[in-house]
Amino acid sequence: MPASSKKSVAKAGGQASCPHPQGILIPIGGHERKEQLPESETSEIPDIAPALILQRVVDELDGKGPIVVIPTASEDAEQAGEEYVEIFRKLGASRVEVLNIQTRQQANDEELVKVLQKARGVMFTGGDQLRLTALLGGTLLQQVIKQRYTHDQFLIAGTSAGATAMSTPMIYQGRNDAGMLKDEIHITTGLEFLHNVAIDTHFVARGRIVRMAQIIATNPACIGLGLEENTGVVITKGCELEVIGDGIVIIVDGMQCSSTNIHEIAPGTPFTMRDLRVHMLARGERYTLPILEQMHT
**pLDDT, tens only, 164-194:** 999 999 999 877 677 899 999 999 999 999 9
Domains in the chain: boundaries: 24-32+48-288
Q: What is the pTM of this model?
A: 0.89
Give the containing element (helix H, strand E) for 167.
Answer: strand 167-168
Of 32, 167, 184, 202, which residue is the catalytic one? 202
Over range 273-293, report the average pLDDT. 92
Residue 202 annotated as catalytic: yes
Instruction: Give, in degrees to the nearest 5, the angle at Cα 79 between 132 and 62.
Output: 75
Residue 160 annotated as catalytic: yes
Fold of domain 24-32+48-288: Rossmann fold (3.40.50)
> Which alpha helices (H) appear in 165-275, and where do they start and end?
209-218
Of 160, 184, 228, 242, which residue is the catalytic one? 160
Separation of alpha carbons 168 and 149, rounded Å: 16
The type of residue at 78 is: E
Of the ranges 1-15, 213-227, 231-245, 283-297, which one carries the lowest mean pLDDT score?
1-15
Residue 36's pLDDT band (cuts 50, 70, 90): confident
Residue 151 annotated as catalytic: no
